Homo-oligomer: A and B are copies of this chain.
């Protein structure tokens, strides 16, 4: 779906940018979920991985009814009507040993002592809590609160029923999910391979960050920032070095990155020459090529969104701040779409409400991501929101900030005193 409307004569994306919403919709049309292969990992390495199949319970859990309280296993009918004023007296004729299968039933009208997790002895159906009893002799209790059948007992299969789906396809595994799988004795799990994201930096002015830059050169910050965001997103970054302003080198690096990754990011120089070369190279990598060139966001406007043989390719602006906004707002949704991860209807960001401490101008028709600091007022729980001052190219503004204040397309600026909501980093 090539969109010539969104490109200007010189492909700089300087006029008629599409909205962020439309850009994401265009991306979504082209992206196939679950686009990586499956692999099997030990349960202990499963945290935050995405399931490749629905997982069913291979057995009932618990396999036998267990007590959920410390107390006494009883026949509920023996306790009916017992209360503080009218207690039931009962002899303790045994004790359920933890970890043992109780084979003996308490004699009618008597009870067994039981701890939380102990198996319910034959013929008993409920547990009277320790705190609802009074010990009146070593082997005799007063029950001051009767129970109904099943009370304080977790029945066979009440946690999980054999054959029922417990965890869905495309679920990002949380600690409790791993616990459930452990409870079912599942030692290895099939998950989607982690997405691999190739990073190619471009530009004659960029040197690797661990080299001393000659005058006029600058260290490569973008690769490091992007690798951090890729890891944070649960994917694997791979560097392909810095490509100078030479088409053959650029093309060779892009081809290798395309072969070895599911997503490719070009980042770096905003020089017109390299930008044009970037578009040409992206177009050569596969169909349909560039689908969006220029999005109505600030910062991040000149971003290029492409799909080449089913793989998303992004041309990110040279400023680390702009590159960050483009990553979070465009590349991250692409990663989630490719993962096919569920629960996507839940909000994805920590938000905080506060009072804006300054006017912030903004052009209508553009989504602005303003970096802001958050302070807490000493007297109460109100938060104060200040924009971080500084040039948009300055990475220090991203470091000083706690999050973004998003100003939507329909709004022209915000005023001091407005209640606003901040997306925390």
Q: How large is the interface on A (under 10, 10 to 19, 20 to 34, 35 or more residues)?
A: 35 or more
Inter-chain CA distance A245–B99, complex, in Å, is 11
**Is A105 an interface residue, CB under 8 A from the partner?**
no
Among B119, B179, B217, the residue within 8 A (CB) of A228 is B179
Cβ–Cβ contact A185 & B219, under 8 A: yes
**In the assembled complex, A23 has its CB within 8 A of some CB on chain B:** no
The CA of A324 and the CA of B343, in the complex, are separated in Å by 21
Copies of this chain, how many? 2
A88 at the interface (CB under 8 A from B): no
A223 to chain B: closest residue by CB: B182
Docked pose: A236 CA to B68 CA in angstroms: 31
- Distance of A222 Cα from B116 Cα, bound (Å): 15
Q: Is the CB of B221 within 8 A of A179?
A: yes
Instruction: Using A271-B117, A350-B347, A424-B346 as known contacts, say yes or no to A225 and B176 having CB atoms under 8 A apart.
Output: yes
Instruction: Give bound CA distance, A214 to B100, whole Å.
Output: 9
Where chain A touches its partner, the secondary structure class is loop
The residue of chain B having its C-beta at the shortest distance from the C-beta of A183 within the complex is B221
A interface residues, Cβ below 8 angstroms from B: 12, 14, 43-44, 47-48, 61-64, 66, 68, 70, 97-102, 115-119, 130-131, 154, 158-160, 166-167, 174-185, 187, 203-206, 209-210, 212-229, 231-232, 245, 269-274, 318-320, 324, 343, 345-352, 374, 376, 390-396, 398-399, 402, 424-425
A393 to B117, CA, bound (A): 9
- CA–CA, A187 and B231, complex, Å: 19
Q: A158-B391, A390-B159 are in contact. Are A225 and B178 (CB under 8 A)?
A: yes
Given A270-B115, A390-B158, A210 and B185 contact (CB-CB distance below 8 Å):
yes
Please, which residues of chain B bring their CB within 8 A of the CB of A402? Answer: 343, 346
* Whole-angstrom CA separation of A70 from B319 in the bound complex: 13
Q: A116-B318, A179-B324, A182-B224 are in contact. List 8 more A-B contacts (CB 8 A).
A: A63-B215, A98-B205, A102-B216, A175-B229, A182-B221, A187-B210, A346-B350, A347-B352
Measured CB to CB, the nearest residue on chain B to A64 is: B215
Q: Judging by beta carbons under 8 Å apart, are B229 and A399 in contact? A: no
Alpha-carbon distance between A212 and B187 when the two chains are bound, in angstroms: 11
Partner of A98, one of B174, B176, B245: B245
Q: How far is the CA of A257 from the CA of B90 in the complex (A)?
A: 44
Contacts of A221 in B (CB 8 A): 179-180, 182-183
Which of A131, A179, A228, A324 counts the most B-chain CB atoms under 10 A from its CB?
Answer: A179
- Cβ-defined contact, A159 with B391, below 8 A: yes
A376 x B180 contact (CB < 8 A): no
Contact of A345 among B62, B345, B376 (CB under 8 A): B376
Q: Give the residues in chain B near A181, CB-CB below 8 Å.
A: 224
CB distance from A59 to the nearest CB of B (A): 10
Interface centre among A14, A62, A231, A271 (most CB of B within 10 A): A271
Task: Write the nearest CB–CB distance from A196 to chain B, whole angstroms.
Answer: 16
Complex contacts, A222 vs chain B, CB 8 Å: 179
The 8 Å CB contact of A232, one of B175, B216, B396, is B175
Q: Considering residues A178, A222, A226, A319, which has the most beta carbons from chain B within 10 angstroms of its beta carbon?
A: A178
A374: chain B residues at CB < 8 Å are 346
- Residues of B near A68 (CB, < 8 A) are 319, 391-393
Cβ of A131 to closest chain B Cβ, rounded Å: 6
The 6 closest A-B pairs by CB, nearest first: A175-B228, A99-B205, A179-B225, A182-B209, A116-B270, A159-B394
A218 contact from B43, B117, B223, B395, Cβ within 8 A = B117
Kindly provide the distance from the CB of A107 to the nearest chain B CB, expressed in whole angstroms.
21
Q: Across the interface, do B224 and A178 meet the contact criterion of CB distance under 8 Å? A: yes
A112 to B181, CA, bound (A): 65
Q: Chain B contacts of A390 at CB under 8 A?
A: 158-159
Contact of A224 among B14, B44, B213, B245 (CB under 8 A): B44
A167 with B399: CB separation less than 8 A: yes
What is the CA–CA distance of A129 and B34 in the complex, to the nearest angstrom?
43
